[in-house]
Structure 1
Amino acid sequence: MNHNNKTNEVMNLIKELVSIPSPSGNTDKVINYVSEYFNELGYETRRNRKGGLLVTIGGKNKKRHRFLTAHVDTLGAMVKEIKPNGRLKLSMIGGFRWNHVEGEYCQIQTAEGKVYSGTILMHQTSVHVYKEAGDAKRDENNIEVRIDERASSEEEVKNLGISVGDFVSFDPRVEVTESGYIKSRHLDDKASVALLMDAVKALKNEGHELPHTTHFLISNNEEIGYGGNSNIPEEVEEYLAVDMGAIGDGQATDEYTVSICAKDSSGPYHYELRKHLEQLAIRHDVEYKTDIYPYYGSDASAAIRAGFDIKHALIGPGIDASHAFERTHETSLYHTGKLIEHYLKSEMK
C-alpha cells in the first residue's frame, strides 16, 4: 500500500473517531467502535473495569512483553447547575481554557440517552446589551450553554430530562484540507488511536509475527490522569504511550514529523528506550524531532507513578493548538505510523 492510501485510511479513521462524542467518563460508544474494528480483524478484545479496551497479540518471545497505549477519551464538560433562565453552568472535564470553547456547538447527553444540541456562550454575549461583552472574564461563572429547545426556566429544562451530572461534548468540526492537514477538536488523542488501529490492521494483513508479545490498551481516562496506570502484565518491560506532540514557542515539535518526548512535567522518559526509538527513526528514514513538553503528562508517566517497574517512552504526531482548535498534517501521521511499525518489529534491547 502506498503512502497516500495508508494515510487516507488513517485520516478516515480519525474523522470517524472524533465524530463520536467521548468526554472522559462517558466513552462506551467510541470504545465499542474500536472494539468492533479489532474484532473484525479477528482479534479478541476485553474491557478493564475502568472501561478501557485491551488487545493482546502473541509474539515469539512470550516472556518479555511490550505495552502500547493511546487514549480515546477527550476534553468535555458536565452540567454543574441549571440556571433560573434555563441556561446551563458547566464543570470542566480535563485541562482546557474556557475561551477555547466559547462559541462552540455542543451536545448534552442525558442519563436516559437523550441528546440535545446547544451552544457554549458567555452570559454577556450581546454587545447591544452588555457593555462589558469583550472584557468580562471567561470563567465558569460567565460561560453557559444555550440549549436549542424552548426552555427558559429551570423547571422546563428539567422536564427535558436534563440534570446535573449530564455530559456535555464539543463539536469537533473535523475537516481535511487539500493541502494535507486535518483540523479538528480531539486529535488529542484520537489521531494516535487511529494510528494504533491501523498498525494492528497492518500486522494482521502482513501476517507478521512480532518479536515480543504485545499488548494494546485504548485507555479512557487519560485526560483526568489515570487512563493507562493499570492492567499491565508483569511480563511487560517496555511501555510506549502514543500521544500528541506539543507545539509552541521554544518547542522542536512540528506538524510534519513524529515527536519523541525526552521529558515532560513528570520528568525524563527512559533514556535507553528513547534512544532506541531515535535510532529506529534514523535507520528507517523516519523524520522525527526530540522534544520536551513542559506542562504535560501521559499514560506512560501515570503507569510509572502507579509503581510499575517498566521502561517508559512517549511519541506522537505533532498537534498544533493542543486542547483547543487542533491541527496536524498527513506527513506527521505518516512518520508516526512508520515509527510505531518499526518499533513493534524491533527486538527489545
Structure 2
Amino acid sequence: MTTYPNITETKNLIKQLVSIPSPSGYTANVIQFVEDYLKELDVETKRNRKGGLIATIPGKNDQEHRMLTAHVDTLGAMVKEIKSNGRLRLSLIGGFKFNAIEGEYCEIHTPEGNTFTGTILMHQTSVHVYKDAGEAKRNQENMEVRIDAKVENEKDVRRLGIEVGDFVSFDPRVELTANGFIKSRHLDDKASVGILLQLMKRIKEEQLTLPYTTHFLISNNEEIGYGGNSNIPPETVEYLAVDMGAMGDGQTTDEYTVSICVKDSSGPYHLGLRKNLTELAKHNNIDYKLDIYPYYGSDASAAIGAGHDIVHGLIGPGIDSSHAYERTHEDSLKNTEELLYHYVKSAMVQYN
C-alpha cells in the first residue's frame, strides 16, 4: 500500500496530465485519461453532456452530499484566420495575454485527427528587418503561428487540412526540479486534478468510509466560465472548488502552502466552510494562507451564479505566474492534498 502523501507520484501524475493537450473545447483525450485512471481504482464515474466527468464515492450519509471539483481544460487558442503569407492568426481561449505565449511552441489539431507543430511569434520578430520589433504591440493583429511545414500562402495551408476553428494547444514545457519545484504551463488546474486523483486513490487503498457521499467533478469548461455550474446533485450541501492560488503583489499565497480563498471577483466565499477548513489545517499542522484573488472566478462561484443552493469554498496549491509559464512546489501540493484528505473525513458544521 502506498504511503501518503506520495508527492513523487502526485508530481508524475501532474506531468502526465499537463502533457495531454486540452484547451477548453478540446478535452476528450484528457477526460478519457482521467476516466481510465479512476476505472482502475474501481471508482464509479459518468459523463455529463458537456463532456465533463463525475466520480462518486458513497458515504455513510446519503442524504447530505459533498462535491469537490477541479478542471482539466486549459488556456489555448483557435485558428482565427489563415493569412496570405501562410501563417495563422489566433483567437485566444481563456483569460490571458498574447505576451504570455510569445515564442512558445504549439500544436494545431484538426478535426480529422492530424496534428501540426508550430511556433507563436510576432510578425515583426526579426530585428534585422523591423525597426519596431521590441515596441510593437503583442496582440491578435501582430502575433501569428509559423507552421512547421512548407507553406507560402493560404492555399498551401489549406492543402494540409488546417482550417479556421482548429484548436491550438501550447507546449507545457513541464519540468520537475531536483529541489521539489514543478514548472509547466497548465498547472492551473491540472495540479489540482492530480491531487484529487491521488485523494481518491488514497480513499480506496485505505478502504475509508466517508461520512458523506462525495462527488468529484472533473470539469472541462472552467477557463471559459461554466465548467462546474451544472450536474450538482440536489443533496449537495458543500461544494469545494480545488483550483490554483493566485500569487503576486499584495497576496499572501506562496508556492509552499495551501491557499484558502476568502473572496474573489464573485464576492466572499462561505464563512462557515472557510472556518472549518482553517480549523482542520490548524488541527493537523497543515501550512495554509488566507487570501483574496481580485481577478478570479472558480467553478464554485459559477455554481453559485447558476443559482445552486450550496455552501461554496475554494482552496488550492499556490501557483506562481498564473496563465503564463507557471510554477509550484511539492510542499504546496502536499499541504493541499493533506487538507483535502482531512476535509473529506470531517463532519459538516451547522450552517443554519
Establish whether TM, by shorter chain, passes 0.5: yes
Residue 257 (structure 2) aligns with? 257
Output the CA distance in 2 between the equivalents of 1:289 and 1:22: 30
Q: d(CA) in 2 for partners of 1:308 and 1:54? A: 17
Deviation, 1:44, is 2.1
1:149 aligned residue: 149
Q: State the shift of 1:43 in Å.
A: 1.4
Asked whether 1:337 is paired with 2:323, we answer no
Corresponding residue for 2:67?
67
Tell me the distance in 2 between the aligned counterparts of 1:164 and 1:241.
34
Write the deviation string for residues 150-206 of structure 1: whole angstroms up to 9, x where unpaired: 011100000000000000000000001111000000000000000000000000000
Residue 31 of structure 2: aligned partner: 31
- Residue in 1 that maps onto 2:87: 87
**Alignment partners' CA distance in 2, 1:13 and 1:76:** 21
Secondary structure of the 2:6 match is: helix
- Aligned residue in 2 for 1:131: 131
Following superposition, the deviation at residue 108 of structure 1 comes to 0.1
Cα RMSD, aligned residues only:
0.7
2:13 & 2:116 partners in 1: Cα distance?
25
Alignment of 1:91-106 (within 5 A): 91-106=91-106
AA paired with 2:324? Answer: A
Q: Provide the residue aligned with 2:7 in structure 1.
A: 7
TM-score, normalising length: structure 2: 0.98
Code of the residue aligned with 1:66 in structure 2: it is R
- Offset at 1:211? 0.1
Separation (CA, whole Å) in 2 of partners of 1:322 and 1:85: 33
1:40 & 1:129 partners in 2: Cα distance?
56
**Displacement of 1:329:** 0.3
Question: Match of 2:191?
Answer: 191
- Structure 2 CA distance for aligned equivalents of residues 238 and 71 of structure 1: 18
- Deviations along 1:292-316, one digit per CA (max 9) or x if unpaired, are 0000000000000000000000000
What is the distance in 2 between the residues matched to 1:181 and 1:336?
Answer: 15
Name the structure 1 match of 2:207.
207
Alpha-carbon distance in structure 2 between the residues aligned to 1:55 and 1:177: 32
Q: Does 1:56 align with 2:19?
A: no
- 1:230 maps to what in 2? 230
Deviation at 1:2, TM superposition (A): 4.6
Deviation at 1:231, TM superposition (A): 0.1
CA distance in 2, matches of 1:163, 1:111: 9
Q: 2:66·2:212 contact (CA, 8 Å) conserved in 1?
A: yes
If the length of structure 1 is used for normalisation, what is the TM-score? 0.99
Q: Per-residue displacement from partner, 1:48-74 (whole Å, max 9, x unpaired)?
A: 000000011100000000000000000
- What letter matches 1:170 in structure 2? F
1:167-178 alignment runs, 5 A limit:
167-178=167-178
- Kindly tell me the number of residue pairs found equivalent between the two proteins: 348
- 1:14-63 Cα deviation digits (max 9, x unpaired): 00000000000000000000000000001121100000000111000000
Equivalent pairs: percent with the same residue? 68
SS in structure 2 of the partner of residue 139 of structure 1: coil
Distance 1:326 1:20 in 2: 16
Question: What one-letter code is carried by the residue in structure 1 that aligns with 2:25?
Answer: G
User: How far off its partner does 1:244 sit?
Assistant: 0.1
| CA drift at 1:208 | 0.4
AA of the residue aligned to 1:246: A
Counterpart in 1 of 2:220? 220
Find the aligned partners of 2:217 and 2:111 in 1 and give their Cα distance.
27
Instruction: Give me the whole-angstrom Cα distance separating, in 1, the residues matched to 2:305 and 2:296.
Output: 14
2:176 alignment partner AA: V
